[in-house]
Amino acid sequence: MVPPPPTNAGHVLPLVTGAVLRPDADVRLDGYGHAWIGATSLAPAAPAPLNDEEHQADGLRGYARAAAPRRAALLDAQPQGCGRDAAALARLSAKSGVAIAAVTGFHPASHYPTGRRPWITADAALATFQRELEGGMREQPLARPAAVAASLGADAPADDPCWDAAVEACRLSGALLLVRLEPGADLAGLVGYLAERGMPGERTYVCRMDSQPDDGLHRELASAGALLGYGGRAFLEEGARDAGGTVAGLERRLEDGHAGTVAIGLELAEPGTWGYGRANEGEGAGPGAALVAVERRLRELGAGDHVVDALLGKNLLTRAARPETMGARG
């Protein structure tokens, strides 16, 4: 049996503007988004930047129109030190009307300048994560991050001091742990690691589940109450119904009665997916076009309004809401 969703009376999702979203908000929430990635040219595996502010604002305005009459929202998954700019995200939110939440935490080492993260001990990483969770983000001191991102590659989480720091930061703050699965990630090892440390399933959000073909592990995580993140872009690709594909995996979760344990992220992280070099409108690029296409595919699978609302925002908003602090604005 899947554990019931967490009770979250008095909890909120903090936004980059310093305002908050409450769990009863009527939203379309992109569960794994990228609205801004600053240039990190010295990093060995630096992602292409998304730093044309007016282009990003135009795309987000299209997203807001596609989400209407619900409020458009986005969880930006880029952590500090490798492209996040919470102040730029706040400006984009103001220009577009999209509610944007950001994360603290860590990405793969190759995404940082010189190929090294700025922390080599768990204590150093924990101090950074906690300082942001409690006191605000470095670029936007009046706003707190909404989750702690943790990157899982082929190495065991127990061998990476940033992992222990991320789990402890979540335990101390009540923030959601957002796990980013990299190629070759040891998902089975992650399940054991989190269980050993008493990390509640309902406070864990595992993204990029599409990359993991073992459906038994998907079912195990869902049964433990974890939120599973599937990529919306895969819904738009040929072959998405293949045995290991996103749509097939989602169909199995719905058949298992696990609709409450799934969130969909549009995963628009490259300039091409945001329509750089062409107009956003009418060309199938950007978050507005992606949201319309994903919702259409969900309804083709037979999902009704309640399930669509859950997969495209409600499930994540319920899980990510954390204890409110003084000064937050609704």
Range of the domain at 255: 23-323
Do the domain assignments include residue 134?
A: yes
Of the chain, the percentage scoring pLDDT greater than 90 comes to 68
Do the domain assignments include residue 3?
A: no
Query: What integer pLDDT is reported at residue 326 of this predicted model?
Result: 40
Do the domain assignments include residue 2?
A: no
Q: Mean pLDDT, to the nearest integer, of 11-23?
A: 96
Across 4-13, 65-74, 89-98, 149-158, least confident range: 4-13
Q: Mean pLDDT, to the nearest integer, of 179-199?
A: 92
pLDDT at 330 over 50: no
CA 93/CA 88 separation, integer angstroms: 9
Do the domain assignments include residue 8?
A: no
CA 84/CA 256 separation, integer angstroms: 37
Across 46-60, 77-91, 222-236, 273-287, least confident range: 273-287
- Total domains in the chain come to 1
Query: What integer pLDDT is reported at residue 247 of this predicted model?
Result: 73
Do the domain assignments include residue 268?
A: yes
pLDDT classification of 245: cutoffs 50, 70, 90: low
Q: Judge whether 42 and 48 are in contact, CB under 8 Å.
A: no
Residue 77: other Cβ atoms inside 10 A? 26
Across 108-112, 171-175, 177-181, 211-215, least confident range: 211-215
Quote the mean pLDDT of the chain: 89
Q: Judge whether 15 and 99 are in contact, CB under 8 Å.
A: yes
Of the chain, the percentage scoring pLDDT greater than 70 comes to 89
The CATH number of the domain holding residue 74 is: 3.20.20.140
Across 8-12, 64-68, 306-310, least confident range: 8-12
Tens of pLDDT along 232-243?
Answer: 876 666 544 444
CA 261/CA 244 separation, integer angstroms: 18
Beta-carbon contacts of 131 under 8 Å, excluding residues fewer than 6 positions away, are: none
Residue 118 Cα distances to 132, 187, 273, angstroms = 15, 25, 30
Do the domain assignments include residue 329?
A: no
Q: Judge whether 240 and 251 are in contact, CB under 8 Å.
A: no
pLDDT classification of 4: cutoffs 50, 70, 90: very low
pLDDT classification of 211: cutoffs 50, 70, 90: confident
Helices (H), 145-271: 161-173, 187-196, 215-223, 246-255
Residue 202: which of 192, 194, 210, 213 has the closest Cα?
A: 194
89's tokens? 């995200």
Do the domain assignments include residue 7?
A: no
Please tell me which residue, 272 or 47, carries the higher pLDDT value: 272
Do the domain assignments include residue 263?
A: yes
User: Which DSSP letter does residue 199 get?
Assistant: -
pLDDT at 50 over 60: yes
Please tell me which residue, 165 or 154, carries the higher pLDDT value: 165
Q: Mean pLDDT, to the nearest integer, of 220-228?
A: 91
Query: What integer pLDDT is reported at residue 14 of this predicted model?
Result: 97
pTM of structure? 0.92
- Torsions phi, psi for 91 (to 5 deg): -65, -40
